[in-house]
Amino acid sequence: MWPLSYPTPMTKPLPLSHLKVLDVSQVMAGPFCCMLLGDMGADVVKVEPPHVGDQTRRSMGFKLKGTDSGGFLALNRNKRSIEIDLKSEAGLEAFYELVRTADVLIENNRPGVAARLKIDYPVLQKINPRLVYASISGFGQTGPWSTRPGFDLIAQAMTGIMSVTGHPGGAPAKNSVPVGDLGAGLFAAYAVLSAVQGRERSGEGQYVDVSLFESALSLSIWEVAEYWGTDKVPTPIGSANRMSAPYQAFRAADRHFVFGAANQKLWTALCGVLERADLMDDARFATNTDRMKNREALVAEIEPTLAARPADDWIAALLAAGVPAAPILTYAEALVSEQAEARDMVLEMEHPVEGTIRQLGFPVKMCGTPQQLRHPPPLLGQHTEEIMREAGCAEDVIERLRARGAFG
């Protein structure tokens, strides 16, 4: 295999260094989207309410050195912050100056709020026809549920995700990783960049409507396929898979671990490792379809065999035979694993209040234009004057706007 090289010094402009992004969002989906764009080089300006800022600054229930939470620090690197009171006339004037030269705007107000604030797409399109404007909401801008408030919890509940999460017979469970929020952020980034690319041909921006509901539902691929294919409503199956078996967590002598024999070749290899040739001859397990139908019986056959040896022994034997297998790591273990270290998935940067902080690394590696930790998560309003000057406002104009309450 040709050698891969991921240089750390900046040798070329980052792919999105030509884009100016206004992050008028809070909490997770919007900030996550904007952080992804910032990681790729976009100049992201976080527009925040004076004195309080993004709600996430004060969330999470545990304190660091400063007032900003760990959650805020995790979602807002590679951004600068400006305080603007969008409810004041002077604040709107200042905001409109930023809009004139912006390429992208991301907001996540409930439908109707942006219009009341006079920062909705029809208003801003007149100021900047090339603007790509993305709204992220719970249920989208149209439809009978559009005005409902929406969190990740609500999206997971109303898309069916909670109905299939957990173990059979257990209480309703939410996926701990907020798939609705993060999915919406990912889909928003994908849509925004598509719109920016389209603008290169049309010369015009466009409106992008993203919802947690549709994002979460769009990720439910196996579950919907099962329902449409069988006309049976999917139910929780624990760690098992809806398309193959065995493919789940199993108990060894000391602890649980996972393996997946997702095709006939792997099934044969698994039976060899287990020294259970009888399973190959059992009609209940002859094909993947048979194993799916008889999953509980299959688990009952396999686990007594696994109980004879510790998990690490089984993992080593299965991997040697080409069967995917792994321990179940905690985050404490995963973050210091040799693979996380080799792939730079824990990075450090300096913050003006917290000192050295840790950040999750970049999930994709680009050998020509590697992403950079260019800016630490900003303090509230840290770059207000700097950003207004870059927008073309003279010092006296900035001071007049300040005197009129534009910046709180």
Annotated catalytic residue 68: no
How many Cα atoms sit within 13 Å of 383 on the Cβ side?
18
DSSP H or E stretch at residue 190: helix 179-202
Number of H helices, E strands in the chain: 19, 11
How does 80-89 read in b/e, with b if 16+ C-beta sit within 10 Å?
bbbbbbbebe
Q: Could you give the CA distance from residue 407 to residue 404 in angstroms, rounded to a whole number?
A: 8
Residue 94 sits at φ, ψ, to 5 deg, of -65, -45
Coil, strand or helix at 251: strand
Q: Could you give the CA distance from residue 46 to residue 31 in angstroms, rounded to a whole number?
A: 9
Q: Could you give the CA distance from residue 391 to residue 389 in angstroms, rounded to a whole number?
A: 5
Q: Which of 23, 39, 120, 181 is catalytic?
A: 181
Helix axes 264-274, 295-306, angle to 10 degrees: 40
DSSP H or E stretch at residue 400: helix 395-403
Amino acid at 298: L
Amino acid at 119: I
Decide if 82 contacts 384 (C-beta within 8 A): yes
How is 53-121 classified by DSSP, letter by letter?
-SGGGG-SS---SSSS-HHHHHH--SEEEEE--TTSHHHHHHHHHHHHT-SEEEE-PPTTHHHHHT-SH
Q: Could you give the CA distance from residue 19 to residue 307 in angstroms, rounded to a whole number?
A: 57
Give the tokens for residue 43: 């100049």
Q: In which residue are the tokens 């917290």 written?
A: 354
Q: Which residues fall within 8 angstroms of residue 87, CB to CB, at 6 or more apart? A: 117
User: Side by side, which strands form the sheet with 247-251?
Assistant: 247-251, 256-260, 325-327
Give the tokens for residue 344: 């730079």
Residue 359 sits at φ, ψ, to 5 deg, of -130, 145
Decide if 276 contacts 305 (C-beta within 8 A): yes
Give catalytic residues, as residue numbers. Answer: 181
